[in-house]
Structure 1
Amino acid sequence: GESSLQSPENVQVHVVNTNFTLSWDYSGSEPNVTFSAEFQWPGLEDTGWQELPGCQAVSAPGCDFSSAISEYYDAHYVRVRARAGPLLSPWSQPLEMVPEHLAQIGPPGLELQSTNGVMKIKVSPPEANQRKKMWIDDLSFKYNLVFWENSSHAQVQRKNIFPVDTIDDLAPDSTYCFKVQANLPLEGKQGLFSPISCVKTTQKVADLLCATNLSVLALNMKFHLLWSNQENQEVNYNVQYLYGFQKKLNDDYSDKWRSVPGCENITSTCCNFSSIITTTGFYYLRVQARGHNKSCFSREIKVDPLKTNGIGPPGVRLDLSDTLLHIIISPPGGPENEVMRDHYDLSYRILYWKNSSDKEEEVKQKEVKQTIAMVPDVSPSSLYCVKVQAFSEPYNKSSAYSQQECIHTPAGSRLPLLIFGIFMGALLVVLLVATPLVFVLYQAYNKIKYVFFPSCQPPLNIEGFGTQPFSSPYLPAAEEPVENCCVIESMITEEGNEIDFTAYKHSKQSSRDSGNYSNDNNSSGSKGSKETLEKEIM
């Protein structure tokens, strides 16, 4: 076709939930001008540009093409041109858009009901009951309620609410207007407000049976719920709790309340509900009063354990060592309270001073993370006092100071004399133990040396007898070479003389005792005997 028409300009796409609208500007003045649009996305690359459903031959500078888009996280491209009879304009510059990036959160649904002076509110997600959804996780929405009294002096109020919630303290018999918006804080998206709805509040009927002035007293993870009784007559109470996450659901949670163990059908106005508390999540509590054949629920109170809980003072113990003051700290709640130790990241602020009656001493301060601290260079014969405070920087909480603990340091230090005394005592003990030990070792050494390494040598006439080496008499008899010679007691020579070896045996044994032998007849006899024996053997 001919190209004498101007191209559409300022092409834009508007997305609310899954509703897509295309708009543009056209400055031409030709009559009977119509517009058509085409789109393209990665799934259609093979077929090129396709006609955009809902945007063909439209006369207005805009069209709805919600039915054409089903992939909300892919990039899409759109373009528009004008037609007037046979005349066609060039295509506009292609516009790139990612549906999820452009999408706005639509207005949520809002239902209101006033009962006994309380406004009950129910909010439905922006895409409730829709088949196609841009926002898959309905539970991620945070709802911002804006309300005001419909009067000339109206003051706008804002409140973050759950899908099912209540508003108290509204003026009775007054008209209030409400609107609500759904937001996704993590994605930085704020939704559109719902249409304004106005409701007249009802008169609140006072019920003296209901528990009032609910408060929570919590210290070191010990939780107590307190309330007031409006009647002097006996009333039974039942304390109930609800897990906080159940209020985030879009369902009615009225049947999800549970009774606190140990706080059922009680007459006192106090309940210890520590047994239900954990460090994850938060809770809601309420008190049901029963009497006179009727019952009444109190207002709800929210409990976030780690935020509601208070930190108690720590325990303190003092000890002395030389010139050091040791401060031993017990975490609040005692060492068995792991929640206080592990979840609050506790630090300790220590105040210490020298308690002197004659002058006012400066109070010194130190902060530590450990449960043991030391104060150096304390003065002798002085009274030192300490008190400690626990605090948690992550939770911006601090305890009261502990009770003042004091300790008296001993008189002047005798440390050098004490060290010298210990040294001398140790030295004396070493001497008393070492002297007998050395003596015993020395005697054992002499015995061993005497037995195995004798210093004396036998006479030459015995040492050289035969070819047998000299042996110690202390060796066993089986090992003495001399026994090999004692088998023969005597022998008769050819001449008939008897040679007696007893003398030789005796002299060999005696040689170990005296070591001195004379060269008299015995020596000659021994020599003769030796010669005769050799001849006999030959």
Structure 2
Amino acid sequence: MYTSLCFHCLIGWVIWRTGGANLASPQKIDVITLNTNYILCWDWGDTEESVTATFTTQYLEKFKLQSKKSPNWYTVCEDTSKRSCDLTSCDFHYFGCYMLRVRANVNGHHSKWAVKEFCPDPDAAVGPPSALDFFSAGSDLDVFISDPVTTTNRSIKDHIPNMYYQILYWECCHYTQALSLNTSANEVTLSYLKSWTWYCVSVQSCYDFFKKRSNFTMPYCIQTKGTPSWWQIVFNFLGSLMISACSMLSLLYGFFRIFKCLSATCYTNNRLTLQFKEYFCDSLGSDVPNLLTLNSESELFDNVFICPERFIKNHNNPKEIFLKKQVAIHIPGPLGEE
């Protein structure tokens, strides 16, 4: 009985070990970095088991592998179905080295660990400047560069003090003639530029020790200034004068139209023609009516008498009158006859 139980346990252990050995490990392990942001990514085959597969990610300081004791690995992502794990929260020392490992889990079986070494100083990519500001100072341009920042909003120069910036600037639409300037300062003046000309500027971060280069920032275009020429002064003066004159005329015309509208609406009874003003007003420019005197009434008016309507009595019969009219208009016959 005891021998049979041991045999079955041995068979189960062998089957379990065989299942774990056949489970593929993650492939194409890589760390995507930017300043102090780190994300571990990997690939795993597209099989039926990939639907239920989960992954576990751990890390360890590299120097602890030399210890005689079994090292204690730190778990970051456990039983996650994603093909990536964010290591930013681990707060890796920028000048340290770490061992990263990940394995697949399917139905209680585990694959072998896939291991990758990661050192932030040589491996982490540096980002472009976090912000750029530009100001035109005459024909010169002042450029203010903000350092790339870490996850704690500190300057990346705290970890890379020898980092510098490469500035490309060119006259608008002439990118092939771009000029370059390297500087470690955060405030730079671009001199000897043309006045009243558009220039575009783009900046990247550089670290020569590990040959790090960030992407260039999006080009920012700004126009330089300078002493205006005589024709610009004359043109601006004439333009301002014309605009002021047009505005004043429009304002006066608007007031005039409003006044005319109000006058026509509120004082319509006082509007007299020239003929009426000659007789009814003191003068042509006056709206005060002049009352008529008794002497002028005879000159302006005639006496009118109303006669009563006269009625003429007609004693003739209307029928006889009609017959007489027919005889009077009778058409004559042949000659000699009436």
Q: Aligning the two structures, in what range does the TM-score lie when normalised by the shorter sequence?
A: 0.5 to 0.7
Q: Which has the higher helix share?
A: 2
The structure 2 residue matched to 1:234, chosen from 42, 52, 60, is: 52
Equivalent residue letter for 2:61: Y
Does the aligned pair in 2 maintain the 1:316–1:387 contact within 8 Å?
A: no
% identical equivalent positions: 24
Aligned partners of 2:151 and 2:65: how far apart in 1? 36
Q: Which has the higher strand share?
A: 1
The aligned runs of 1:55-66 (5 Å cut-off) are none
User: How many aligned positions are there?
Assistant: 207
Structure 1 residue 327: deviation in Å? 1.1
Does the aligned pair in 2 maintain the 1:228–1:269 contact within 8 Å?
A: yes
Structure 1 residue 294: deviation in Å? 0.9
Does the aligned pair in 1 maintain the 2:36–2:150 contact within 8 Å?
A: no
The structure 2 residue matched to 1:392, chosen from 203, 207, 210, is: 207
Does the aligned pair in 2 maintain the 1:313–1:400 contact within 8 Å?
A: yes
Aligned partners of 1:409 and 1:223: how far apart in 2? 41
Aligned partners of 1:284 and 1:335: how far apart in 2? 21
Q: 3-state DSSP class of the match of 1:338? A: coil
Equivalent residue letter for 2:102: V
The aligned runs of 1:17-32 (5 Å cut-off) are none
The aligned runs of 1:65-464 (5 Å cut-off) are 207-230=22-45, 231=47, 232-253=50-71, 256-260=72-76, 263-276=77-90, 277-314=92-129, 315-333=131-149, 337-338=153-154, 340-345=156-161, 346-356=163-173, 362-410=177-225, 412-413=227-228
Aligned partners of 2:176 and 2:87: how far apart in 1? 46
The equivalent of 1:122 in structure 2 is none
Does the aligned pair in 1 maintain the 2:140–2:191 contact within 8 Å?
A: yes
Does the aligned pair in 2 maintain the 1:286–1:299 contact within 8 Å?
A: yes
Equivalent residue letter for 1:302: E
In structure 2, stretches of 5+ residues that fail to align are: 1-19, 230-338
Judging changes above 3 Å, is the alpha-carbon distance between structure 1 residues 274 and 378 closer, same or farther for their aligned structure 2 residues? Answer: same
Please tell me the root mean square deviation across aligned C-alpha atoms, in Å: 2.8
Structure 1 residue 356: deviation in Å? 4.6
The aligned runs of 1:514-529 (5 Å cut-off) are none
Aligned partners of 1:288 and 1:382: how far apart in 2? 59
Structure 1 residue 242: deviation in Å? 1.1
Aligned partners of 1:336 and 1:240: how far apart in 2? 23
Structure 1 residue 348: deviation in Å? 0.7
Which structure is richer in relative contact order (CA contacts within 8 A, separation 6 or more)? 2
TM-score by length of 2: 0.55
